[in-house]
Amino acid sequence: MEDNQIEEGEKNTNVEVAPALISVHPTQNSVAVAVGSDLRVYDLLGDCAVSLVDDSGATSHKDSIRAIRYGANGKLFVSAGDDKVVKIWSAESWQCICTVSSEKRVSAVAISNDGQHVCFADKFGVVWVVDLHGIDGSEASVSKTAAPLLAHYCSIITGLEFSPDGQYVVSADRDFKIRVTIFPKKPLDGAHEIQSFCLGHTEFVSCLAFVITLDYPQGFLVSGSGDSTVRLWDITSGSLLDTCEVDAKAGHLESNGSDEGYSTVTDLCAIPDTTLVAAAIQSLQGVMLLSCNLSTKTLSVAKVISINFIPTSLASGSSTGLLWMVTGVSNLPGFDCPTVSRVKVISGFNKSSLEHKPIALEDNEIPGGTKLVEKLQGSVTVDEKVLTAAAEALKAAMCNLLIKKQYSVEKREFRKRTRNDRKTKQ
Amino acid sequence: MLEKESNPTLSKSTGLPRKRFYRARAHSNPLSDSHFPVPVSPSHVDFSLHYPQFFPSSSEVGCLKKIQFADIGCGFGGLLISLSTLFPETLMIGMELRDKVTEYVKERILALRGSDPGQYQNVSVVRTNSMKYIPNYFEKGQLTKMFFLFPDPHFKEKNHRRRVISPHLLDEYAYVLGVGGIIYTITDVEELGDWMKSCLESHPMFESLKEEELEADPVVKLLCSATEEGQKVSRNGGQTFQAVFRRIVPTSLYMKTDMVC
């Protein structure tokens, strides 16, 4: 009986659900959503759905996509995930210009500010770098090999960002660490010089973002974590500037009053040209807006926008005043439709003031309208019930992946007796 | 502490803890999730617990002295004990992953402090996984010496990433070592000796010490003679392979020379 329960528990963790992801072109030329192995792109300039051009086969990815991102100059787009393949796309022709295979599953990607290097992190804590010199996308897709750049000791890397000035590459992991490494002139030889470690989180770090304004072009780093805080850092020294507790604010808004204590921050998005940071929080219906005061170096909760929607990923293009959100999941157990996603947009983020109340747009008010919604969601309407189940499944998946498991003495003994290496010998 | 007189784990003649009561496995998996407390950051380490004589009250944490030597995988602590009297004013810490071994070293230090009042106040030990948590204990450039003596060889290629000296971990050691700081490695396994040497040689932030510098360094002699493993090797007439390197400023590696300090 006891044995069965444990077996079942183990089995459940084998079905890995992946959150839906969203990314917006820096000048909002296009929007991309990834759900499961499906990559959907909508061209806002041409107002049409994009069909991806990939020589390597009909499906670009064979397993859940875990990371997508546009390059800062808007020319490149990268997607990668559980199928251990990194695809680098031209964000103009949407042709796959380069395919890189990884030894392990990929958990995060980043593109250097000059668009010459793509970095990706795997679940064993190694960050790899691909040199794109000589690839202009005019020829057919090429295969490249990646060189190891740096490593967190066997810890899942959850976030990867280049600093706004391109001087540093910042990586976050599930061992509570944020590492700031000087990005070298020859990245293929590795990045050996660590500028700082940003230490202060007491649970896994889940996401990173840079807040940039005209007065502070070098930007400040903000990080979200499983310890239900968002923290503001000075990356040059690694010092913690401020900590913003989000669970107190998010807690009383929870309708179901779950007593799990922590409200994990799942994604952060700095709204361009403002000092606002939008935070997606597990089990919070809506988004929380944090205001970052860069002169006093403080971070505080500005506002909670309540909508009937728990976003899994946030994105924003520059100067548009729009926050794009997606919620959804792949491999949802117990439903006919294995992947589900819903896109929403909040508008009204004008220069650093919140006087004009940010509001969630109806589907037909979103740029691209219902055509965009249909492309990115796969269907026009989505059952709310499925989304609730999706949120629960994601919460469980994130716990399984990132939270360190605590075992009782008996359970530990039991696990020792049923070790994998012995099982195979039987 | 109260039952010190009758404590059977302490030797009656020397008052030191006896190893037979601290039997431990020879290896511990550095990859598994750790369930011991880890300080959030170096400023959260309470030095008054480790060095009560140097830090009389916990309110003065961080203002006086900083740890300068770290013995990674200190085992039963032989080297630390020898270094303690050689550098009586330098704070040093041993880091060990195996719980029982750490307990032994703790007891050993307490017993030595008891039998030689005023001595061994500068040495302490902590149970941790140094491969994961070194930045949680030391600030940038804080250390002047790091020791990796007779580490686990992890022969299988699949397990090479468990080795305590590896190209990527050297980045972290270079971070906690100040410029000019020295990293000492020694092993009785030739294959591992070659590996550690080649890792250090190909790292841009380390350079090998010259022969005469090795001769002049009193610590180099201790590598073999002070550690339990080293004594075992020489007892059996085995060979040792050492690599001693200095932390240097990497040359012309970076885009920006006018880096912000």
- What type of residue is A154? C
Q: Give the gap in angstroms from C-alpha A213 to the nearest C-alpha of chain B.
A: 19
Identify the DSSP state of A309: -
A423's enclosing H/E stretch is helix A420-425
* A177 and B CB contact within 8 Å: yes
Nearest to B255 among A148, A154, A185 (CB): A185
Decide if A198 contacts A151 (C-beta within 8 A): no
For residue B119, what are the contacts with CB-CB under 8 A and spacing of at least 6?
B84, B85, B88, B112, B113
Give CA torsion, residues A39, A72, A84, A108, to 10 deg: -100
Query: Active-site residue B258, yes or no?
Result: no
- Inspect the interface and report whether the beta carbons of B253 and A153 lie closer than 8 Å: no
Count other C-beta atoms under 10 Å from residue A421's C-beta.
6
C-alpha B119, offset from chain centre: 19
- Inspect the interface and report whether the beta carbons of B254 and A184 lie closer than 8 Å: yes
Query: Which of A123, A127, A153, A156 is the mutation pick for testing B, counting most B CBs within 10 A?
Result: A153
Q: Which residue out of B46, B99, B116, B152 is catalytically annotated? A: B152
- Inspect the interface and report whether the beta carbons of A184 and B174 lie closer than 8 Å: no
Let me know how many helices (H) and strands (E) chain B has, helices first: 9, 7
Counted residue by residue, chain A has a size of 426
pTM attached to this predicted model? 0.89
- Inspect the interface and report whether the beta carbons of B35 and A404 lie closer than 8 Å: yes
Alpha-helical (H) ranges within A90-227 are: none
- Inspect the interface and report whether the beta carbons of B168 and A184 lie closer than 8 Å: no
B34 neighbourhood in chain A, CB within 8 Å: 404
Strands (E) located in A106-176: 106-111, 117-122, 126-131, 142-144, 147-151, 157-162, 168-173
Q: Output B156-162 pairs: Cβ under 8 A, ≥24 positions apart.
A: B160/B195, B161/A124, B161/A154, B162/B29, B162/B30, B162/B31
* B174 and A CB contact within 8 Å: yes
* A148 and B CB contact within 8 Å: yes
Whether the complex's predicted ipTM is more than 0.85 is answered with yes
Let me know how many helices (H) and strands (E) chain A has, helices first: 6, 29
A124 neighbourhood in chain B, CB within 8 Å: 161
pLDDT in 10s for each residue of chain A, 426 residues: 344 444 444 444 446 789 999 999 999 999 999 998 999 999 999 999 998 888 766 578 889 999 999 999 999 999 999 999 999 999 999 999 999 999 999 999 999 999 999 999 998 999 999 999 877 666 667 888 999 999 998 899 999 999 999 999 999 999 899 999 999 999 999 999 999 999 999 999 999 999 998 888 899 999 999 999 999 999 999 999 999 999 876 654 444 444 455 689 999 999 988 899 999 998 788 999 999 998 899 999 988 998 888 999 999 988 788 999 999 888 777 776 667 889 999 988 865 556 667 888 888 889 988 899 989 988 877 777 888 888 888 888 888 888 877 777 778 778 777 766 554 444
